[in-house]
A = this chain, B = another copy of it.
Amino acid sequence: MNTLFNTHWPLLEKALDVCVHRYSWTAFPESPSSKIHGSEIPKAAIAKFDDLLGHPFDLDMPGIIGSIGEEVSPFTEQPLGIKYPDVDPEQLFAAAAVAREDWSARPMQERVGICLEILHRLGQSEALFLNAHATVHTAGQSFIMAFAGCGANSLDRGLEALAYAYKAMSDVPETASWQRQFGPTIESKLEKRFRLMPRGTGVAITCATFPQWNGYPAIMANLATGNATIVKPHPRTTLPVAMFVRTMREVLVENACDPNLITMAADSESDPITMKLMQHADAAIIDFTGGPTFGRWIEENCTRSLVYTETAGCNSVVIDSSDNFDEMCRWIAHSMCQASAQMCTSVQNIFVPRDGIESDDGHKSFDEVCSSIVAAVDKFAGNPKVAAGLCGTLVDKKIYAAIDKMANAVRARGRILRESARYAHPEFDNARTATPLVLQVDASDKDLYAQEHFGPISFLIATDSSEHALQRATDDVRSHGAITSHVYSSDEDFLRRAENAYHQAGASLSCNLIGMPINFAAAYSDYHVTGLNPAGNACLSDLAFVSSRFRIVQTRSPAK
């Protein structure tokens, strides 16, 4: 019966091993190179994607009451013209409840096997290329980022969550024999059966920028543990979600399961249905990715549901000193540029002592640190081809206004170190591009920098000292959250203090990271989001992410 489980067991076994030892591994191809995929598949994917445009998306769904769709490509500024089912949430919940019954009664290995098949299917070349094009023209990522970050890297996060779900469920035996004496004469023998019960139906709210990164783990964790999931995509980034929901439903049908275990509730920015979904009596689990204010509201108000959030923080860099000044500036700049700083791991607030720092290239004044970082940004952003691959576009044109607003706000009190501007995309004339806005402010200007500024806006912040920088940065972690934090120092004592200060503030820390994209968070190795600061309450992935999604019921009977 569990043939899919057996087929994919080596994959799961490997994932389980990596999660324990946390070395580097990916189960899926990160590169779109034709050496791996050939040249036909990439070509066919472009044609397939083009065929989707201007048509209703072929997605069967219960409770269809119309169609809906308002996506606009950030590369062409043209509407995609794709319509999705507009559905009645009541009917989705009703269909999910029906689907759950059979699903939750199946052996957990069977559920896990089907989940593995889903990931395997989403990891095929055809799917990866089509997913990348869909992500490019909704989330606005460069193709290379969309292919790896929203392909393999997200599938890895999904497999990781599945591995944890399997581990947590495997901790519960199926049966037990129990025998003991009560009093001098009575001997009792019981047989016990233990059964994993799902919570019910989950609602997974995906974000506009990286819907797969949190979507896959939430769905895998839910499905494996017997729960159904209604996915609520962002109205600007619905296509990649619709595509993976369709694949998941196909795999379910192929394995004689009710496809309504996974449904999609699309909406529009003017008429959102998120609240209706979350406040439904059947919403047993909520996985939310999005803004911190709404995330906090959900944590505090959706008390009948299990709530898992990843929101955002103002990620910081503390520069104390460096023994590789050029590389440090280069990789900080890389983070400021990558995906136009729309990643949850993008750095925003760079704290530098106003008296400057010591480096392998001698003393660097505050202004020299600023100008070197700006020069490094220019190097990436000034080359349209490099910028296109690294920065991509803005997911939301409202970010232009946010950039202008911050530039104006700082003009009065600080200094604009680098103006943001469009870069000329080599392929798409109308691409919604923006190079980083880099602002200089004082540590006291908390009203300007001490909050998340979504998009390519960053601050070089003058502090009294490295210790002051550390104190400000970690205070901001406590108040506003952080998903990544960086410190650069050649002083081992300072690194220890920084580590402890960030950890005590509930943040993870990278020390002297160079030679790699510092935004990179590795599935199976990096615990993503600590849950100890306002940037989210859930971690990808740990036992806590999965172990409450199911409960245990048991039956005791006299042994025969």
Interface residues of A (CB under 8 A from B): 20-24, 167-168, 171-173, 176-180, 182, 186-188, 190, 192, 194-195, 197, 199, 299-301, 303-304, 495, 499, 502-503, 506-517, 520, 522, 525-527, 530-532, 539, 542-544, 547-548, 551-558
Contact A172–B23 (Cβ < 8 Å): no
Least distance between A201 CB and chain B CB atoms (Å): 14
Contact B24–A542 (Cβ < 8 Å): no
Known: A506-B197, A558-B512. A24 touches B173 (CB 8 A): no
Q: How many copies does the complex hold?
A: 2
Which among B180, B197, B544, B556 is the interface contact of A510 at CB below 8 angstroms? B556
Known: A303-B300, A526-B556, A547-B547. A22 touches B513 (CB 8 A): no
Chain A, interface SS category: mixed
Q: CA A510 – CA B527 in complex, angstroms?
A: 41
Contact A527–B542 (Cβ < 8 Å): no
Known: A173-B21, A514-B558. A503 touches B197 (CB 8 A): yes
Q: CA A547 – CA B171 in complex, angstroms?
A: 13
Contact A168–B543 (Cβ < 8 Å): yes
Q: CA A299 – CA B306 in complex, angstroms?
A: 11
Known: A300-B303, A304-B300. A555 touches B186 (CB 8 A): no
Known A21-B176, A303-B303; further 19 A-B contacts with Cβ < 8 A: A21-B173, A22-B176, A22-B192, A23-B177, A167-B171, A188-B515, A188-B516, A197-B506, A301-B303, A503-B555, A508-B553, A509-B556, A511-B555, A511-B558, A527-B552, A527-B554, A530-B551, A542-B552, A543-B547
A506: which B residues are within 8 A, CB to CB?
A: 197, 551, 553
Known: A511-B555, A526-B556. A24 touches B192 (CB 8 A): no
A510: which B residues are within 8 A, CB to CB?
A: 555-557
Least distance between A507 CB and chain B CB atoms (Å): 7
A303: which B residues are within 8 A, CB to CB?
A: 299-301, 303
Contact B507–A553 (Cβ < 8 Å): yes
